[in-house]
Amino acid sequence: MLKTLPFNALRTLESVVRLRGFGRAADELNISQSAVSQHIKQLEEWLGHQLLIRKNPKVIPTDDGTRLANAARNGFGMVEAVCDSLRDSKKSASKGLLVAAPPGFAFIWLLPRLLDFNDSHPGIQISLSTDPKSLDPTTSEADVIIAYSTGGFPSLHSEKLMSERMSPVCTPKLAEQIRSPQDLEHHTILQDGQSETEHLSNWEFWASELGIKLPITQRKQVYSQANMVIQAAINGSGVAMGRCPLVIDALENGQLVRPFRQEAQSQFSYWFVCAHNKAHSKFMQEFRNWLHDQAEPLNA
């Protein structure tokens, strides 16, 4: 029966019943009114039931016509939904992955390393977003979120990428003038306005964790993003709270140094977060494995 099912005629019936007229159905289907009439006539003859009552200028469906039109609408709607899903999945696969990450982490740590990923995985395109909506699992359209968090992601797949350690950093020249935390009184403190742990600034958290008393100083500069803080420190503007992994490259290339050895373990970590149904896709697994490889030296 499926081989002889008149799909065009069924689509025409659904349109006529929904739009309540031959003319409107003809416009939607881009066929003539006579073709619409012919489709309905053929369908009625094929079924042996009257489907429409023609009362010019109105068209009223019979009970059988209404039932069949509803069934056609539901069936074609399901087919359309499946087709959209297949097209979207192919489009997503061809694009690769959309990755959301906090601005500081994205600009300082992830973006330079993505050059390596692009070289080793030329078939996977990575798009990077730092939009706040993309970082919120409830609103994000990203395939992967690199979350800066204490953990806890209900209904999502999550893996810890790396922990965060904290210690003051500055230029080598500035470090020559600093022998103890009390010397910070004579220098500008560079503060990340977004980084707080239980309402403590990252400087206050570091001092609290290590039992260090910070001097009272009025010389502070507050920046809205971590990457601005790091760049200000590299420029010699003051002393920043160095959050590893964000300062690891600047420490390794000598742009920044640690004037003190005391290092605090942050309550925050970086997490790999995605939907459960995406966690085991080929692209996702390759990107995940690469991220863990990049993070491994920081977790040693």
End residue of a domain, out of 74, 94, 114: 94
CA distance 278 to 283: 9
Residues 29, 122 within the same domain: no
Last residue of a domain, one of 94, 125, 160: 94
Both 171 and 141 in one domain: the answer is yes
Q: Quick one: 86 and 152 in the same domain?
A: no
Average pLDDT for residues 116-132, to the nearest whole number? Answer: 91
| 85 touches 77 (CB < 8 A) | no
Give the end of a domain, one of 42, 73, 94.
Answer: 94
With a CB cutoff of 8 Å and minimum separation 6, the contacts of 230 are: 104, 108, 240, 242, 246, 247, 250, 256
Q: Which domain holds residue 260?
A: 96-300
How many domains, in total, are found in the chain?
A: 2
Q: Is the domain of 70 the same as that of 195?
A: no
Instruction: List the CATH number of the domain containing 77.
Output: 1.10.10.10
Residue 58 has pLDDT above 80, yes or no: no
Which CATH number goes with the domain that contains 270?
Answer: 3.40.190.290
Structure tokens at 92: 């997503």
With a CB cutoff of 8 Å and minimum separation 6, the contacts of 62 are: 49, 50, 51, 52, 53
In this structure, the answer to whether residues 43 and 129 fall within a common structural domain is: no
What pLDDT is recorded for position 1? Answer: 36
The answer to whether residue 5 scores a pLDDT higher than 80 is no
pLDDT per residue as tens digits for the range 179-194 = 999 999 999 999 887 6
Same domain, 26 and 152: no
pTM for this model (two decimals)? 0.67
- Tell me: do 72 and 192 sit in the same domain: no
233 pLDDT band (50/70/90 cuts)?
very high
